[in-house]
A and B are shown apart, each in its own frame.
Chain A
Amino acid sequence: MSEIKEISPNNLVLFGLIGGLIGVYLSPTLPIAGALGAICAVIWGADAVRRVAKYGLGTGVPSIGQIALGMGIIAAMFGLAIMKSQPLAGPVVAVITASVIGFVIGWFAQNVIKMKIPVMIRCMTEIAASGAIIILGYSAAVAGNYDFVNNLIPLVFDNGVILFIFWVGAVAMLHPFNACLGPDERQKRMLYLAGSTGASTMAIVGLAAIMTLGASGAITMLLGIVLWLIFYKKFWDEVYNDAASVVGTGLIPKTEA
């Protein structure tokens, strides 16, 4: 299996971090960019989940996704709220806060609970940071920018859309590895699935943005559906490639057992 080339974790960190933050910072002029940034973060986060969960966390995968967005939402709100006077610094502070929370939780898991997973601390930090960007990106796509008091609270928090972003963002991040779990899991297939879950979340976020921003939300929704179709198709191409066999119907093949 080692001959298959995988994208290195460092490249995915850069992809998620830079892509995500660019998306969030572009959102005041182009709300759709927030959602695209969030998709970058979903792909990054899914890979971080993959690296840590490969150590045999079966049922722990959904929990990791939930804790990611739990840390992310706290950090995102904290970062944006304390930087009210300097809104430009808000997202960066949010990501740094998330990384610190993730680092502390990872440290506890490693040294207090003694889970003995070598990549635990690094992955928890990455997962928390990507969770914060997911929250920021999708919220910015719904609210039009990342101004906490004037836009996020009335347009995302009051109407409950934040719960959709929180919950479905977590599933978008945890689902790709969880759905591909198994001994013959491939990074490429998992990353396409991460793109697909991120894009389907973006489509519903676009629908919510129609309520808050009007017509520009429709563009987010349509682009989300198009991106979803592309990634979903790519995922299925990989499934056809990787599966032992894809059959219309048939009996169970004979095995030794």
Chain B
Amino acid sequence: MVLDLTMSMAILALLGALATIAGCLEDLESDVGSQSNPNSQVQLAPQMGLLHRIFNKAISGEPISNGMSAVTGGTVAAVLLNAKFYPLTAIVIGSFIAAILYGIYATTAYAGRVASQSRFKQPLYMDIMRYTTPSIIGHNFIVNFCLVTIAYIQYAVLGYPFSIPFLALIWGISVGAIGSSVGDVHYGGEREFQNREFGCGLNTALSGRIVRKAESGLRNSIDNVWFCAKFGGPATGIGLGLTVFFSSWPTTIWGYTWTAMGVGVIILVVMIIMNRLVEINVKKAYGPYKEDKEEKEAGAVAHTH
């Protein structure tokens, strides 16, 4: 379908908005279950004698698990579209079935991992299972809905020569990759090790020594989402939204021409320079990290064991 410039820009804005929501919710969803980077620390904690009440959603890395839910949503939506459902109904039902499947995988991951840690006496908390799984399903549903909608728009409106499941899978992998690289930093390093100095890195002696207690009571995965929703989630959303926007904007304005390619290269160069400036400023402001005394002792104790 050929669109005029205003309409193309409107569609581009819509895609960018959907991608922003998807990216934000994807990161928060991975934080509900402590997936990806933080997961290894949650997994290690019981071995260090630190039992916890945090959900352990070990489905796989975020790109694979989100690819799974997105391609499931896309496939079911394609089946329903084929059966002459309204597009919105088809996308909603497809996303919902995919989110349920994802939730099932999440429950088996938590139950399976905890059951495999029985020698460390880690209990399986059913209340954590009951109120964390719906949260995972809810977040994942919104992610699926946004991604399958993007795939549908690309397929039906923009006339991409790929099927809906294919586009949904690619978007699922992208959102997982960006959620993992942008968002994780704000959970894995900061929330689980918030009693350490900012930027201290993860000393081997600290492995598994995660923060298990909240401001009042014991910390659970929902508390972690609350923390991540303040910065990690939105940052991820902006990351994916900008990726979508800047990768499509030149071709929307100038079409598939060399001018568009040139503009793309300029955007890339500007971003590289900006990243470098941020890095230099951060290094100036915080300097290299100095190991403090307590950690040195902890390290020494760990070595003697």
Q: How far is the CA of A230 from the CA of B127 in the complex (A)?
A: 23
Which of B159-167, B225-233, B260-268 has 4 or more CB atoms under 8 Å from chain A? B159-167
Query: Which B103-122 residues have C-beta < 8 A from chain A?
Result: 104-105, 108-109, 111-122
- Which bucket holds chain B's interface residue count? 35 or more
Residues on B with beta carbons closer than 8 Å to the beta carbon of A176: 112
Given known pairs A167-B68, A175-B109, the reply for A200 and B104 (CB within 8 Å) is yes
Q: How far is the CA of A211 from the CA of B113 in the complex (A)?
A: 37
Contact of B116 among A170, A174, A185 (CB under 8 A): A185
Residues on B with beta carbons closer than 8 Å to the beta carbon of A207: 75-76, 79, 97
B202 to chain A, nearest CB (A): 15
Given known pairs A204-B97, A211-B83, the reply for A181 and B118 (CB within 8 Å) is no
Q: How far is the CA of A243 from the CA of B97 in the complex (A)?
A: 29
Contact B53 A252 (CB under 8 A): yes
Contact A250 B72 (CB under 8 A): no
The residue in A160, A180, A197, A250 that gathers the most chain B C-beta atoms within 10 A of its C-beta is A160
Contact of A184 among B67, B104, B117, B125 (CB under 8 A): B117
Task: Tell me if B48 counts as interface (CB < 8 A to partner A).
Answer: yes
Interface string of A22-65 (1 = CB under 8 A from B): 00000000000000000000000000000000000011011001
Interface string of B109-141 (1 = CB under 8 A from A): 101111111111111111100000000000000
Task: Tell me if B222 counts as interface (CB < 8 A to partner A).
Answer: no
Contact A184 B165 (CB under 8 A): no
Contact of B61 among A62, A239, A257 (CB under 8 A): A62
Contact A180 B60 (CB under 8 A): no
Contact A211 B79 (CB under 8 A): yes
Task: Tell me if B274 counts as interface (CB < 8 A to partner A).
Answer: no
Task: Tell me if A253 counts as interface (CB < 8 A to partner B).
Answer: yes
Contact B40 A246 (CB under 8 A): no
Interface string of B204-240 (1 = CB under 8 A from A): 0000000010000010000000000000000000000
Task: Tell me if B59 counts as interface (CB < 8 A to partner A).
Answer: yes
A227 to chain B, nearest CB (A): 13
The tally of residues in A whose CB lies under 8 Å from a CB in B reads 59
Interface string of B69-93 (1 = CB under 8 A from A): 0011011101100110000000000
The residue in A182, A247, A255 that gathers the most chain B C-beta atoms within 10 A of its C-beta is A182
Residues on A with beta carbons closer than 8 Å to the beta carbon of B11: none
The residue in B58, B68, B111, B121 that gathers the most chain A C-beta atoms within 10 A of its C-beta is B111
Contact B97 A255 (CB under 8 A): no
Contact of A250 among B61, B111, B113, B125 (CB under 8 A): B125
Task: Tell me if B99 counts as interface (CB < 8 A to partner A).
Answer: no
A53 to chain B, nearest CB (A): 12
Given known pairs A163-B71, A243-B118, the reply for A66 and B113 (CB within 8 Å) is no
Interface string of B47-63 (1 = CB under 8 A from A): 11111110000111100
Given known pairs A171-B59, A184-B116, the reply for A255 and B49 (CB within 8 Å) is yes
Residues on B with beta carbons closer than 8 Å to the beta carbon of A180: 112-113, 115-116
Contact A164 B71 (CB under 8 A): yes
In the complex, what residue of chain A is closest to B173 when comparing beta carbons?
A: A167
A133 to chain B, nearest CB (A): 20
Q: How far is the CA of A65 from the CA of B105 in the complex (A)?
A: 15
Q: How far is the CA of A65 from the CA of B63 in the complex (A)?
A: 13
Contact A245 B123 (CB under 8 A): yes
Residues on A with beta carbons closer than 8 Å to the beta carbon of B165: 159-161, 163-164
Contact A239 B124 (CB under 8 A): yes
Task: Tell me if B101 counts as interface (CB < 8 A to partner A).
Answer: yes
**Which B residues are closer than 8 A to A by beta carbons?**
40, 43, 47-53, 58-61, 64-65, 67-68, 71-72, 74-76, 78-79, 82-83, 97, 101, 104-105, 108-109, 111-127, 162-166, 169, 212, 218
Q: Closest 6 interchain pairs by CB?
A: A182-B116, A257-B49, A160-B163, A160-B165, A62-B60, A179-B112
Pairs across A and B, CB under 8 Å, 18 listed: A61-B60, A65-B60, A66-B64, A160-B162, A164-B71, A175-B60, A179-B109, A180-B113, A182-B117, A184-B116, A197-B108, A207-B76, A208-B79, A239-B111, A243-B123, A245-B123, A247-B126, A255-B121
